[in-house]
A = this chain, B = another copy of it.
Amino acid sequence: MTRPQKLLTPGPTSVPPAVLAALAEPVLHHRSPDFAEVFALAQERLREVFRTEREVLVFTASGTGAFESALVNLLSPGERLLAVSHGEFGERWQKMAVALGCDVVPLRYDWGATPAPDDLRAALTDTGARTVLLVHSETSTGVVSDLEPLLSVCDEARALSIVDAVSSLGAVPLETDAWGADVVVTGSQKALMTPPGLSFAAVSELAWEKTGRATLPRFYWDWERQRRAQASGSTAFTPATSTVVALVEALGIVLADGLEAAFARHRALGRACRAGVKATGLELYSPDSDDAAVLTGALTPKGVDAVALRLALRDRHGITIAGGHGDLVPRLFRIGHIGYVTSDDIAEALTAIETELERVGVEVEVGRAAPIALEAYGDAIAA
């Protein structure tokens, strides 16, 4: 038997049994009244988690696909674009925009940094760019940007904002309409507790206006075609219907407790994980801050291979955590705590980490972190 894995990764995440059961319902035809009903419910619930009144566009694709849709619907070849980056994903969007033929001006921070509104304001003035790429939760580092003031700067400069909220939406506060984000992109497989295969884009009126002038070539990603199809209860091209059914179930679970409860829970999970990691004596890589509620990054002690640690967790404990990107591969590991994750899952992972560190000769007190993490969670939830 293959050992089942608990996914403590920043996506794909483990999903509730009820969501898996919904996924396994008989397949629906995408041009049928049954699907139209499910799709309408998906729309209603997506609007709630996006905190928007807008139609949410649904793509059968990963989050990268929905992000590409934003670029090709809003920009023209050679058009200037300000791309803010502070980690792997911000850099991916820069590469994407270059590949698609935009004139990309990077506002590039070191990995792990948090972008500052003043830098953004200055960059917008210097470059004259009128489109900005922002990363809300930089999944490679655990940094969650303070999005609201960044969006205010975009608004002042009358620049359109495109926000990567792939690992943040549903985990940490994001007020699409109230904060004036023009395009917010997310995926099904993170805090929305659904298997991978769907991604979403909420689009402002200002952004819709811009699409008419944007000339980058597009067909699969064409928003206008998609909006027309959605108005008649489906998508332009055959969607992952089973995953839409699962999404409706998952969003129902999220919304039953309410989004505020989800934010509080993720904040508490972040506190628990950081308290436990510190109790183990490991160095935090992600910020030691309540904002960093998506994942906790930590560095192994010098000489301890993070890749081997992850494999040991997987093979001996049935726990999958994530590694680092680039230069950080040998020492960084990342514990995701979004979606269907409990404080007990975190405690279990911390004990497994201690066990494996001890096995390779690191001096740790196995069993120390778990109660500290559980207490931190309890305190945070009670507060």
Closest chain B residue to A97 by CB distance?
B219
Let me know if A241 and B60 touch, CB within 8 A.
no
Partner of A196, one of B15, B95, B238: B238
Which residues from chain B contact A24 at a C-beta distance below 8 Å?
20-21, 23-24
Distance of A338 from chain B, by nearest CB (Å): 13
Number of copies of chain A assembled together: 2
Partner of A20, one of B26, B196, B218, B243: B26
- A320 interface contact, C-beta 8 A: yes
A23→B217 CA distance, assembly (Å): 35
Let me know if A219 and B14 touch, CB within 8 A.
no
Q: Mark A49-69, 1 if CB is under 8 A from B, else 0.
A: 000000000001111110010
Which residues from chain B contact A11 at a C-beta distance below 8 Å?
238
Query: Given contacts A60-B61, A189-B238, A220-B68, is CB(A9)–CB(B23) below 8 Å?
Result: no
Let me know if B217 and A101 touch, CB within 8 A.
yes
**A residues in contact (CB < 8 Å) with B:** 2, 4-5, 7, 9, 11-15, 20-21, 23-34, 60-65, 68, 77, 95-96, 99-101, 187, 189, 195-197, 216-220, 222, 237-243, 314, 320, 322
Partner of A26, one of B4, B220, B241: B4
Distance of A158 from chain B, by nearest CB (Å): 26
Which residues from chain B contact A101 at a C-beta distance below 8 Å?
217
Distance of A100 from chain B, by nearest CB (Å): 5
Let me know if B29 and A237 touch, CB within 8 A.
no
Query: Given contacts A14-B26, A68-B220, is CB(A197)–CB(B5) below 8 Å?
Result: no
Query: Given contacts A196-B241, A240-B197, is CB(A99)–CB(B26) below 8 Å?
Result: no
Most buried by B among A2, A95, A218, A220: A220
Name 14 extra pairs, CB < 8 A, besides A7-B29, A27-B189, A242-B243. A5-B28, A9-B29, A12-B27, A23-B23, A23-B24, A24-B24, A30-B196, A60-B62, A60-B197, A101-B217, A189-B238, A196-B238, A196-B241, A197-B242
Which residues from chain B contact A25 at a C-beta distance below 8 Å?
20
Closest chain B residue to A33 by CB distance?
B314
A9→B26 CA distance, assembly (Å): 14
Which residues from chain B contact A12 at a C-beta distance below 8 Å?
27-30, 238, 241
Which residues from chain B contact A239 at a C-beta distance below 8 Å?
62, 196-197
- 7 cross-chain CB contacts under 8 A: A5-B34, A12-B29, A27-B196, A60-B60, A99-B219, A195-B241, A197-B197
Closest chain B residue to A69 by CB distance?
B220
Query: Given contacts A23-B23, A30-B12, is CB(A242)–CB(B195) below 8 Å?
Result: yes
A75→B68 CA distance, assembly (Å): 19
Q: Give 7 nearest A-B pairs by CB, closest first.
A: A197-B240, A24-B24, A62-B237, A195-B242, A64-B237, A20-B24, A62-B238
A15→B239 CA distance, assembly (Å): 16
A5→B64 CA distance, assembly (Å): 33
A31→B14 CA distance, assembly (Å): 14
Closest chain B residue to A66 by CB distance?
B220
A217→B76 CA distance, assembly (Å): 12
A101→B222 CA distance, assembly (Å): 14
Closest chain B residue to A195 by CB distance?
B242
